């Protein structure tokens, strides 16, 4: 059985918004960054501030979202940030080629060999990593509150009213609930194996051995997910899902003036980014002088 996120009704501006508004606004910001490829901090920071304002207006308690943020921070800092810092990849190729002062070098060596080299970390790469992390966090700020502040009963309806098919809409409904279900199964499996003397913190051996020793956790969780998926399919088949055009009883979604306001801001942000980049040439990657002066 699929479970839902820790949703709680709150009397906030964000929760009074139509769910479609929030999804469309989030897409506008993501597209504003990605389609015209905005790397200019003068555009990124205002969008970050706008997203942060909406996030704070949702009034979500830290303890509710702490785990999600830890995961996002790990992803952003250690994967996106370090990747950008060391390789300069994941963004405009010009970053790696840009002549820029070297701040320090990171020695990298292939284990068990003498092969290695020094990776120069330049001012340009540091600025790029900061930019990239800010972009990612801006998008995360909009995405993280959704499961905690959007009624799970209208996930499917929201997508349906955005024009998706019945199957896509209900798939999105199920997909939203998959992650908390996965987390619940992982916790139960962890408890079950700990009760058999399994201690993950005491795993010994090299990386392949350690990965192999994670099997008691990974296999039951994957199996449970598979079984849950099959059960959901059977349960839906037994009640004739997908055989004809579906009626969505709870589809009383209606845009209010506040929705038009937020949608207007979102669309304006997207259009502005496109115009700035493609008409005025503003939005390209560059290292601002104040940042360069910190190192040179």
Asked whether the beta carbons of 128 and 88 are under 8 A apart, the reply is yes
Cβ neighbourhood burial of 114 (10 Å; 0-12, 13-18, 19+): exposed
Work out how close the CB of 167 gets to another protein at its nearest, in angstroms, rounded to a whole number: 11
Which C-beta is closer to another protein: that of 211 or that of 236? 236
Enumerate binding residues for another protein (CB under 8 A). 1-4, 152-153, 155, 173-174, 177, 185, 188-189, 191-199, 215-220, 223-224, 227, 231-250
For residue 137, the Cα-to-chain-centroid distance in whole angstroms is: 8
Nearer CB in complex with another protein: 19/88: 19
Are 131 and 44 in contact by the 8 Å Cβ rule? The answer is yes
> Which of residues 1 and 110 has its CB atom nearest to another protein in the complex?
1
Among residues 63 and 107, whose Cβ is nearest to another protein?
63
Task: Tell the smallest beta-carbon distance from residue 56 to another protein (Å).
Answer: 21
- Angstrom CA distances, 255 to 16, 21, 109, 161, 263, stand at 10, 8, 57, 11, 10
Q: Which is nearer to another protein, 42 or 67 (CB)?
A: 67
> Which residue carries 């997910």 as its tokens?
225
Beta carbon of residue 219, minimum distance to another protein (angstroms, whole number): 4
Token reading at 105: 């070098």
Min CB(18)–another protein separation in Å:
18
Nearer to another protein, 196 or 279 (CB): 196
Percent helix / strand / coil, the chain, rounded to 5: 65, 5, 30
Please, what's the largest Cα pairwise distance for the chain? 69
Work out how close the CB of 107 gets to another protein at its nearest, in angstroms, rounded to a whole number: 39
* Shortest Cβ 11–another protein spacing (Å): 17
CB 48 within 8 A of CB 293: no
């Amino acid at each position: 059985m699929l479970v839902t996120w820790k949703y709680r009704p709150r009397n906030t501006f964000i929760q009074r918004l139509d769910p479609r508004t929030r999804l469309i606004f989030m897409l506008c910001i993501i597209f504003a960054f990605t389609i015209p490829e905005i790397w200019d901090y003068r555009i990124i920071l205002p969008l970050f501030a706008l997203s942060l304002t909406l996030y704070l207006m949702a009034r979500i308690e830290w303890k509710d979202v702490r785990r999600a943020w830890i995961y996002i921070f790990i992803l952003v800092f250690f994967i996106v940030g370090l990747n950008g810092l060391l390789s300069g990849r994941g963004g405009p190729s010009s970053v790696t080629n840009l002549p820029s002062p070297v701040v320090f070098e990171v020695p990298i060596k292939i284990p068990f060999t003498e092969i290695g080299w020094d990776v120069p970390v330049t001012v340009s790469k540091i600025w790029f990593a900061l930019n990239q992390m800010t972009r990612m966090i801006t998008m995360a700020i909009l995405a993280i509150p959704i499961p905690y502040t959007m009624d799970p009963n209208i996930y499917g309806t929201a997508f349906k009213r955005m024009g998706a098919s019945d199957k896509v809409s209900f798939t999105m409904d199920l997909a939203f609930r998959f992650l908390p279900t996965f987390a619940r199964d992982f916790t139960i499996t962890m408890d079950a194996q700990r009760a058999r003397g399994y201690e993950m913190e005491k795993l010994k051996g090299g990386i392949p051995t350690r990965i192999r020793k994670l099997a008691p956790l990974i296999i039951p969780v994957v199996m449970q997910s598979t079984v849950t998926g099959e059960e959901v399919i059977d349960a839906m088949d037994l009640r004739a899902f997908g055989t004809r055009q579906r009626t969505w009883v709870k589809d009383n979604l209606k845009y209010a003036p506040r929705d038009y306001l937020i949608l207007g801001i979102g669309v304006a942000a997207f259009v502005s980014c496109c115009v700035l980049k493609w008409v005025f040439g503003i939005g390209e990657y560059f290292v601002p002088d104040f940042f360069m002066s910190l190192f040179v």
